[in-house]
Chain A
């Protein structure tokens, strides 16, 4: 795999990451990410055929608790840190309209 990452790819990744970057940042990150990806491509030296992926260090899965109702956090508390609110709701700017689906 080629590790070189173009500015267009950086723009695409920035969009996926929901980060608005300046063209200077795009330029800078293209060079840095290319370097890092070059470095990580050394993983290709290893034969990983048949190796089970390891997502987690502990041998556990599907940890469940009894489904019993319990008090949660109050709405006021949840909204305490909201940049804008209209209790009991978070407030955002318009969701529908041009560009909102990008």
Chain B
């Protein structure tokens, strides 16, 4: 697990986010130097993996100079970050990985990004993604594919594959993704980094280009749980611009990591439905070993029953596509985005602009969602899915009456090969089998580096997932942090990028 592991304390690209912040605050390194180090590393390494859609070197250096001049302070002063290209910024382009928004320049900045910048963060650039966040491999990007830093012949996962790969390749100190059905956690697992999907409503979605509004949530990629707690704390909170952002107090997540808990032994829930023998055995092995780590720390394993787990994928793909078909109706070739050159009349203009602007997976999902909502099928598909969604949430409610967190795999196996699933939508959708239910129920969950899988000559990271009750990030992160304090998986780096 120490393959490629090196300690270069003065190189900010090989530290954690917290260490980078401390080095800048302690003047061991300037913010300009830290930013320059990352920009140089991106120029050298990103051509191999194609994580970034665009970078903002000039703007980033100016932001860093402001920090060094003492004009910007805050908990992230001078820390270089990458953000998924689905978050609006009033600089650069916001393309969502789509031809539709190829030249779109957002008129405002997403609240989450604004908060990071106000806390002193430096934005290095925007990262690649599956078009409109629809996909599990980043192969659906209209720009180019992104490669996995552990094996460039494999996908980084998706839809936030650019951010996950950038994190995995040490091209940023932290990154933002979005998670509608697993789009932070699955790529985090495939790229060997931490990926946190907060509770629905914990972070404002203002300025996040909508895919499925009842499921979408922004969250961080980091090397450590500590870093995730820091970024979550900066971004969380109510926003008058997003009526679904929760008006609930934001705990000090960073301080919470050191809290002793409630004095009772931790109860870790394990559900047999998540430990299927269809999984790669090395994934189930990683979960079993993680449980062993917790057991040695005094935790008890609680067996819980999640009988509706297998209905998550069909429910998710009806709910998410129905919402997407409605959300993506806004791309009409009139207000912004791609417009066709050869329309005969207004309806033809809509139909051609959309056909030219959207890629195949986006069209497929719009069609499926439109069908599920259409007259005669609404009750059979969409309404039924909403009822099953309630049953799925019930599984979690019963489980959390018995345990503090659930421990399960993030994915059924390690990263797959580029091209393997691109022509088989159902096989691609099955990637999300252990992540979508968390979105349907609106819960927080984190994927942690939890081991490795040997696939032929290649060693690939494996993720373990911890799921907590709604707004239970404090406990969730504390338990995740406990795991990282007693394991070294998160310190391993892919040999190719050191």
Contact = CB atoms under 8 A, between A and B. Distances in A.
Contact of B374 (A16, A21, A99, A101): A16
Interface in A10-54: 10, 13-21, 25, 29, 32-33, 35-37, 39-44, 46, 48, 51-54
B401 interface: no
Q: What band does the interface of chain A fall in when counting residues whose beta carbon is under 8 Å from B?
A: 35 or more
A53 B354 contact: no
Interface residues of B, number: 73
Interface in B345-381: 345-352, 354-355, 358, 360, 363-364, 366-368, 370-371, 374, 380-381
Contacts of B351: 15, 18-20
Contact of A52 (B385, B390, B442, B470): B390
Contact of A58 (B246, B332, B335, B360): B246
B334 interface: yes
A93 B350 CA distance: 11
Given A16-B370, A17-B370, A19-B354, A100 B347 contact: yes
Contacts, number: 174
A80 B105 contact: yes
Interface stretch (B127-135, B150-158, B218-226, B310-318): B310-318
Nearest to B346: A95
B107 A57 contact: no
A92 interface: yes
B337 interface: yes
B441 A57 contact: yes
Contacts of B311: 42-43, 46
B335 A40 contact: no
A102 interface: yes
Give the most central of A16, A18, A37: most B CB within 10 Å. Answer: A18
A52 to B, nearest CB: 6
Contacts of A51: 387-388, 390-391
B214 A40 contact: no
B14 interface: no
B367 A14 contact: yes
A92 B107 contact: no
B455 interface: no
B388 to A, nearest CB: 5
A71 B243 CA distance: 19
Contacts of A93: 343, 345-346, 349
Interface in A66-96: 73, 77-78, 80-84, 90, 92-95
Given A17-B366, A19-B367, A78-B107, 20 more contacts: A5-B371, A10-B367, A13-B371, A18-B351, A21-B355, A25-B360, A25-B363, A32-B425, A33-B371, A36-B425, A40-B314, A43-B384, A43-B385, A51-B391, A53-B386, A56-B214, A57-B200, A58-B244, A60-B244, A81-B104
A45 to B, nearest CB: 8
B384 A48 contact: yes
B344 interface: yes
Contacts of A63: 243-244
Contact of B387 (A54, A60, A94, A99): A54
Contacts of A60: 244
A94 to B, nearest CB: 6
Contacts of A37: 368, 371, 381
Contact of B318 (A40, A80, A83): A40
Contacts of B472: none
Contact of A92 (B346, B381, B387, B429): B346
Nearest to B343: A93
Nearest to A42: B314
A80 B336 CA distance: 8
Contacts of B481: none
